[in-house]
Amino acid sequence: MSNKKTPRWNRILLKLSGEAFAGEKGFGIDGKAITKIVDDIIEAREAYDVEIAIAVGGGNFWRGMTGAEGGIDRAQSDYMGMLAIVMNALALQDFFEQRGVYTRVQTAIRMPQIAEEYIRRRAIRHLEKGRIVIFAAGTGDPYFTSDNTAALRAVEIQADVLLKGTHSGVDGIYTADPKKDAGATKIDSLEYLEVINKDLRVMDQTAITHARENDLPIVVFDLMGEGNLQGLLSGESIGTIVQ
């Protein structure tokens, strides 16, 4: 019998945006920022009997749109973005494994020298064995984002929730942009359609739609807030839940 606590959700998919990896540097990978994220996840895993999958972004290195605005073909630029995601995934894997936590990176674009290819059933098996699975290279398709990837993979692996960690100090969904509007108030719970209809830009609309069609709850929360991940697993109401 494990002496770990039973979490609110048994299997979670955590979406980490690339920018969270850049920390104060604003570009690339900041060891301090990634260490904090990794430590929080490891502590949560030690306290709770939870299976963890992670979908990472790549915005700290490259976004398809940026290249497209600079004259690169959009699809080509998106593939560059997917490679940026792989860099983050490899860094994340290294930080976990330096701490003795087993992980598997699965890429949507085959690159067998450095990672497994994405195979849904194998991903689930890794989770059951207690490994952290890191999904990389997005969906493998241009014109999508890592939010789409997170929602897609979460449904595929039958995760109980998609936890979207923010890193910019905003701890959930607000009535307006709290950085621009002092009167903005935080919302604890929302329905999918409200997020879509009010165009609350917390996550890609296609990701929200996919979650809605598949009854996947999404929690938007401050990844950098002390104890937030464990608080969420314990059942505390942190951030904003969309369901």
Q: Which residues bind ligand UDP (CB under 6 A)?
A: 17-19, 57-59, 63-64, 78, 81-82, 84-85, 138-139, 141-142, 144-149
Alpha helices in the chain (DSSP H): 18-22, 31-47, 64-69, 74-98, 120-128, 146-156, 192-197, 205-213, 228-234
Name the closest residue to ligand UDP (Cβ): 57
Q: Least distance from C-beta 68 to ligand UDP, angstroms?
A: 9
Q: Least distance from C-beta 81 to ligand UDP, angstroms?
A: 2
* Cβ distance to ligand UDP smaller for residue 49 or 204: 204
* Cβ distance to ligand UDP smaller for residue 85 or 216: 85
* Contacts within 8 Å (CB) and 24+ apart, 112-119: 114/86, 114/90, 115/86, 115/89, 115/90
Q: How far is residue 100's CA from residue 94's CA, in Å, rounded to a whole number? A: 10
* Cβ distance to ligand UDP smaller for residue 93 or 146: 146
* Cβ distance to ligand UDP smaller for residue 149 or 240: 149
Q: Least distance from C-beta 73 to ligand UDP, angstroms?
A: 12
* Cβ distance to ligand UDP smaller for residue 142 or 225: 142
Q: Least distance from C-beta 48 to ligand UDP, angstroms?
A: 25
Strands 132-136 and 11-16: unpaired
Locate 79 and state its tokens. 């593939």
Q: Least distance from C-beta 185 to ligand UDP, angstroms?
A: 25
Q: How far is it between the farthest Cα atoms of the chain?
A: 58
Strands 173-174 and 186-187: antiparallel
